[in-house]
Structure 1
Amino acid sequence: MVGIKEVAKAAGVSISTVSNVLNEKKNVGEETRERILNICKEMGYYPNSVGKTLKTGKSNTIVFNFSDFDRSFYLKIINGISDYVNDNDFDLIICTDKSSEKYMRSNLSSGSIILDKNMKDDTLIKIAGENYPIVVLDRILDNPYIKSVVVNNYDPMSELIQGVIDRGYRHFGFVGGPEQTADNKERYKAFRDVLEANRINFQQKSYFAGDYREKSGYTAAKILLLSQELPDCLVCANDNMAIGAIKAFRDNGIRVPGDIAVTGFDNCDLAEPMGLTTVSIPNYERGYIAARYLIENIRGKRNVEPFKISAKIIWRNSVSEKKSK
């Protein structure tokens, strides 16, 4: 059986040099690199996942990178990605944070789907290329090799807030997610724009910074309870934080929606049993569409126009039908 030692001997180089070439290290000259790769092909040496690339010239593997195991909607996105990937004879690597970068190269994968607020724009722009397309789910990037598939946050959040106002609510609090994320910025802007259009004042002291996790919503509600007056409605930038806030209110004898209304965004699995009014995002379809566009781009059908996914409001009993003031 041919091994790395035989390849090194045939090429007249050290084993470490062959290893560097197969791992795409930059410390090997181009002429030597080409010679080693040609010898690998001639000798039939195809190690691990690199083998398929050497054999066919391409990898039928895509990477999905996300940043937070604590949010259940990721599973729906993964299911959508997985179904399309499997139907098209591709393999899927799922990873998080920094570990993903080592898989985002052409000898290991053909492209990536990114839903990771910690992955910087500059990093994605550097990696993306004609032979390595990327789809991002959490931002819009102007790049010829990056497709954006994002949620239309603004319109449904605007409709939600207007609906709450129409039900008689006038005093609001807001629990935001990580402030640098596009989703949070868009949801908060819609919230403020609708309040302004209705001539409703909002004080910055009523804004609480969260991190999209349940604990941060619980903490925000506890802080809110220290004030002398509760708002009519606490608007949360996602369901996890809204559920945390509802639990904090219930733990302290505050009725939802009798004493305060609460809204979320996502329609996570717990939203229905908690009776949470929220915005439903079709996350399975979101993953499926992302995988479709990525594989189409991998196959040469270039399409990098941003695609916005629509979402709809689901009214439940965390907001009363009518609240007189």
Structure 2
Amino acid sequence: MVGIKDIAKAAGVSISTVSNVLNGKKNVGEDTKERILQLCKEMSYYPNTIGKTLKSGTSDTILFNFSDFDRSFYLRIIKGISDYVNDNDFDLIICTEKSCEKYMRSNLTSGAIILDAKMKDNVLNGIASERYPIVTLDRITDNPYIKSIVVNNYDPMYEMVQQLVDNGYRRFGFLGGPEHTADNQERYKAFSDVLENNNIVFQRKNYFSGDYREKSGYSAAKIIMLGEELPEILVCANDNMAIGAMKAFRENGIKIPEDIAITGFDNCDLAEAMELTTVAIPNYERGFLAARYLIENVKGRRNVEPFRISAKVKWRNSVLVSKIK
């Protein structure tokens, strides 16, 4: 593994000269500086800045914490975060679940973006401070050092289900994610409010539980097919589960949308290819905004008012086109 001593030896200079160049000091001649930087590139030497960070007690690095590699929308969020971070000369650390807590210290990272239902509120409240701001993408908390950027789940789900009712659908099934999550609660609340407001009875036996992964949607569809009668339409709390259900139905000769219609939520990468009606969340922009607000708070321009992101319904052929305006 190449170290600073190797660079100094190759350049024919002292270790302190290499250190001065890497730390941006101006007491080294331009030719020597260019030679050292070129050698660093050729020898794949990347300076370790952690020691410097520990000494100064500050960091130009932000942390993104998430919990599920199986959901493609995370990649769009990460791209948005990464673009803003890079444009503003910050670094990015990505980690999952409990491993992130040890990095949530002001001498290692400047602040954190959280999208992990397993990260408890009491942990975040214990860490967030003026020196360590946090942005959450999955909840709203009452903390003066935590900014919340959350999706408006209710309105687009209400709009979609009301349109389905207006165009003749009456026998509904609902495939939900983990019931403790805010996203699932808001999406189901909008769904049930539409049915109640239109005097449509929804029986709890037609509520099926999943975990937001494709496999759980596939399993739920298998259970649905055991019943005497299929719902006219299965409203799913996210796209992955909807896609899993679609695969199971089609494997068993059940036509979509003729035998059963399906909707999702997220507009993941496969949604368009599967012709899935869904709600499109601007996830790249979601990540970009999270990074922007976090870095602004790191720099002392405090803004912790909750921000709700709007989302739009995307009508596709997983519902009967003749029934949709």
Place the TM-score, normalised by the shorter chain, in its bin.
0.7 to 0.9
What displacement does 1:321 show?
A: 2.5
Q: Find the counterpart in structure 1 of residue 236 from structure 2.
A: 236
> Offset of 1:58 from its aligned partner?
1.6
The letter of the residue matching 1:313 is V
Match of 1:305 in 2: 305
The alignment's TM-score, normalised by the length of structure 2, stands at 0.84
Match in the other structure for 2:53: 52
1:316 is matched with which residue? 316
How far apart, in 1, do the equivalents of 2:51 and 2:165 lie? 58
Amino acid corresponding to residue 227 of structure 1 in structure 2: G
* C-alpha spacing 1:52/1:195, structure 2 compared with 1 (3 Å): same
Distance 1:133 1:93, change over 3 A: same
Q: Which one-letter code corresponds to 1:92 in the other structure?
A: L
Give the whole-Å Cα distance in 2 for the aligned partners of 1:238 and 1:313.
13
Find the aligned partners of 2:155 and 2:63 in 1 and give their Cα distance.
31
Match of 1:42 in 2: none
What is the CA–CA distance in structure 2 between the aligned matches of 1:126 and 1:177, rounded to whole Å? 28
- Tell me which residue corresponds to 1:18: none
| Alpha-carbon shift at residue 52 of structure 1 (Å) | 2.4
* 3-state SS of paired residue (1:270): helix
User: Would you say how many aligned residue pairs link Structure 1 and Structure 2?
Assistant: 278
Shift in CA distance, 50/164, structure 1 to aligned 2, threshold 3 Å: farther
Match of residue 216 from structure 1:
216
- Structure 2: segments with no counterpart, 5+ residues: 1-46
Write the distance in 1 (CA, Å) between the matches of 2:77 and 2:197: 35
Q: What code does the residue aligned with 2:55 have?
A: L
Residue 166 (str. 1) matches residue 166 (str. 2):
yes
Give the root-mean-square deviation of aligned CA atoms. 1.4
AA matched with 2:183: D
**Ranges in structure 1 where 5+ consecutive residues have no aligned partner:** 1-45
Q: What's the CA shift string for 1:180-207, capped at 9, x where partnerless?
A: 1100000000000011111110011100
1:115 equivalent to 2:115? Answer yes
Cα deviation code 1:7-48 (max 9, x no counterpart): xxxxxxxxxxxxxxxxxxxxxxxxxxxxxxxxxxxxxxx985
User: What is the CA–CA distance in structure 2 between the aligned matches of 1:323 and 1:79, rounded to whole Å?
Assistant: 37
Q: Deviations over 1:229-279 (max 9, x none)?
A: 011100000000000000010011100000000000000000001000000
**Secondary structure of 2:279's partner?**
strand
CA distance in 2, matches of 1:70, 1:212: 9
Residue matched to 2:140: 140
Q: Which runs of 4+ in 1 moved over 3 A?
A: none
Partner amino acid, structure 2, of 1:49: I
- Structure 1 distance, partners of 2:316, 2:167, is 13
2:272 partner amino acid: E
Look up the SS of the partner of 1:322 in the other structure: helix
SS at match of 2:319: coil
Q: Offset at 1:164?
A: 1.0
Partners in 2 of 1:48 and 1:97 — Cα distance?
25
Within-5 A mapping of 1:67-82: 67-82=67-82
Q: Which deviations, in whole Å up to 9, do the C-alpha atoms of 1:303-322 show, x marking residues without a partner?
A: 11100000000000000123
Equivalence for 2:252: 252
Q: Which residue identity is paired with 1:242?
A: A
- Asked whether the 8 Å contact 1:149–1:290 carries over to 2, the reply is yes
TM superposition score normalised by structure 1: 0.84
